[in-house]
Amino acid sequence: MAAIKKLSIKQLKLKGKKVFLRLDLNVPLSENGAITDQTRILAALPTIKYIIDQGGHLIISSHLGRPAGKVQPNLSLKPVAHALSSHLGKEVPLAPHYSLGEKVLQMVNSLQKGDVLLLENLRFYKGETQNDPEFAQALAAFGDVYVNDAFGVSHRAHASVCGITQFIKPCAAGFLMGKEIEHLSRLISKPARPFIALLGGAKVSDKLGIIENLMEKFDALLIGGGMAYTFLMAKGFEVGRSIVEKDKLDTTSSIIKSTDIRGIKLELTEDHVIARELKDAAQTTVVNTSDIPEDWLALDIGPRTIELFIKEIMNAKTILWNGPMGVFEIEAFRAGTEAVGRAVAESGAVSVVCGGDTAAAVNSLGLAHKMTHISTGGGAALEFLEGEELPGIAALDDA
């Protein structure tokens, strides 16, 4: 894969310019509409503050949830506007839901240097997800320059992500987008060796593309979580009621053979924390792979596997981590994820964390500041690492 070099926001002259900024502010909300996790807002602040400091007239756009082209008050960006106002120390007004109307255009034109306006949820309009050219052109009319800092939706061919770039120039990457491209590209092109993949989570199908695309780059694959049981069944083991994707057994068998042929170390879960049911108070025990009872579920890696994985982690120079090692949300099944997470943090390796569940685990353990990079794009990061061209990145001007 050739290095991706896109125009950066730092190469733009923003003073006095109307800057149309696409962000991913798709934050989780409680039942009463309160933001429960501000990670995406905090990640966007460096680009926002840079535009303000440069004297730009800032128009922020984002989506929230899946309103399917209809106005849904519970998916309004009003809570985001309040949060941004608090972080920036200045009012960030929210445009009315008729974001393409004359009134909103007047609000845009009345912006002064350093002012910020947040457009209402883009997905209130069918034209957004349909990548409708008229909708994209209407959005472009708000800005003099376009900046995309929404890596998390860069795999979507939507109007505000790629369609708009046909009607406004220049089109540049924000700081977060630039970091995502830099760190993920390095995994594909020039990872420091040994390069290991620490893979978990429920489904092996989510990781197949990464394994196949980066197979020649990996020195070792460490596989835990629910996906390990598809691998173990492919090797002939009985795994009780543990999660298995039986339609992926042939593919998994092929991967096992490929690692053997290529001399790639494949480390699977050797011992398991098991229970009869998935709940907080469940009775648990630790068994070897050959001893999982038929009516029990394996829900975390065991202590011997933890020791094995940590040894590989501490020897690595580059680590890609995608997926918890067990059902991390339940105390009885979080020891594996916590142990390997702390090892990754202390390894001194370049560490790239992908996936919402993995990022949540890292954050809850207080280890985020010790990771080299935590990707904000779940599906986008996976597609990037699978070697796919992402529409939102391809649409930006080359450097």
| Catalytic residue set | 40, 203, 356, 379
Measured CA to CA, the distance from residue 199 to residue 142 in angstroms comes to: 43
Beta bridge partners of 60: 21, 118
- Rounded to 5 degrees, φ, ψ at 20 are -90, 110
CA 247, chain centre distance (Å): 26
9 conformational bin, left if phi > 0, alpha if psi -120 to 50, beta if neither: alpha
C-alpha angle 320-342-310 in degrees, rounded to nearest 5:
70
Three-state secondary structure call for residue 19: strand
Measured CA to CA, the distance from residue 242 to residue 238 in angstroms comes to: 9
- Rounded to 5 degrees, φ, ψ at 319 are -130, 125
Measured CA to CA, the distance from residue 185 to residue 393 in angstroms comes to: 12
The DSSP symbol for 35 reads B
